[in-house]
Structure formats: structure tokens, C-alpha cells
Chain A
């Protein structure tokens, strides 16, 4: 079963704009992770946020976590053409060692 659900499913923005993607999940989690996948390739880990953290930054990425709403958001600032990819959230529920992935957001940056 899918634990995480991303929203929107697809997003197109102009280069230089900010992109925001959201993820909702159903059960309590140990941590939540975001991954990027370029077309036809493997996934690359971007950032991990633990359940006791509310916000985390990494370069142009900002992730927030609201455990009361069971949701997270990924913000990419000053987008570049190279950011064009699919983005997935993945959750690690308590008492479970496995990552459960959502279906992803397809981000297209228009030059």
C-alpha cells in the first residue's frame, strides 16, 4: 500500500521560479525522505527529516514536516533546467524498517 502521496502529480514552472511539492502520509513515522529520479534512471537521495524535526535545509532545498497533519513539503528555490525530474517522498513508519514510496511529482522546468 502507498504510504506517501505526492501532490501535485505534475508541475511545470519557469526557470528561476520556486517549486513546491507536497507529500501526505497515513501512519506515524520515524523519518521522511525525499528522492529525485531523472528520466529512466535510479533514485538519488536528497534529504531526510526526522519525526522530531520541523524544517531542514540543504542548498536550494527546504523540507518541512508537520506530524500533526501527516504532511511534508519540498521547496526548490531558484529552479534550474537540471531540476527537471520526478520527486518522491518516502516514509519509514515506526516499527517498520522499510521505506514506502509515494507515486511522485513530475517537475518540469521551462528554460
Chain B
């Protein structure tokens, strides 16, 4: 079974702090994604990556950056956390060969910025 893990289930940070959210998948998937989920808004794509060191902006990249130095790891960085970044963050991965195939999700990180 594909396993996608995220570094923290719950995280509390202060406004202005730099925040790192880590995601690791163990199935050699090329694609990795970061979403945020907010009530009434569903899941919105922040960034995605097709390969190591490659990244593409999603629908809401402002205030975020990403890093993919190894195939299995995709990091989301909040350069200077703000209260409007309080949200559930979900990481996902999928195969590139079937690029429009199903995504496998991690358990999520609930981030609170105070």
C-alpha cells in the first residue's frame, strides 16, 4: 500500500514564524502535491511537483514556497506565517506515467497560527 506521511498532525505557530511542513511518500511516485482545506472552500492546490527540483504553482501559491530535493520528500514552507494561513494542510502523491491517476493523501497537518 502507498503510504504518505506528514511530519505533524497538529502544529501551533506564531505570526511571523517560518514554518516547514514535511511530506514523505514511499511508492516512488513522481508527482507530489500540497493542498489546503478550509470549511466551505474544499481543497485548494497550493503547489505541485512533477520531479525532483521541479515545482509548479497551483491556485493559491501566495505566501508559500516548496522544496523537492529528493523524490520521496516534498516540503511546504510558510516564509512568514500569518493568521489567514491557519488551515488543514494535505499532501498527496501520484504516478506520473498515469499522470491523471488517483492521488494518495497523507493524514493532514492542522496548522494554527496565533
Which residues in A have some Cβ–Cβ distance to B below 8 Å? Answer: 1-2, 30-31, 33, 35, 40-45, 48, 88, 92, 97-104
Contacts and interface: CB of A to CB of B under 8 A. Distances in A.
12 contacts: A2-B42, A31-B100, A40-B110, A42-B90, A42-B105, A42-B108, A43-B92, A92-B100, A97-B100, A98-B33, A101-B42, A101-B43
Interface residues on B, range: 20 to 34
B74 interface: no
Nearest to A50: B100
A45 B103 contact: yes
Nearest to A44: B105
Nearest to A45: B102
A98 B4 contact: no
Contacts of B77: none
Contacts of B107: 41-42
Nearest to A33: B102
Contacts of A101: 35, 42-44
Given A33-B102, A41-B107, 19 more contacts: A1-B59, A42-B105, A42-B106, A42-B107, A42-B108, A43-B90, A43-B92, A43-B103, A44-B105, A97-B31, A97-B50, A99-B45, A100-B45, A101-B35, A101-B44, A102-B42, A103-B41, A103-B42, A104-B42
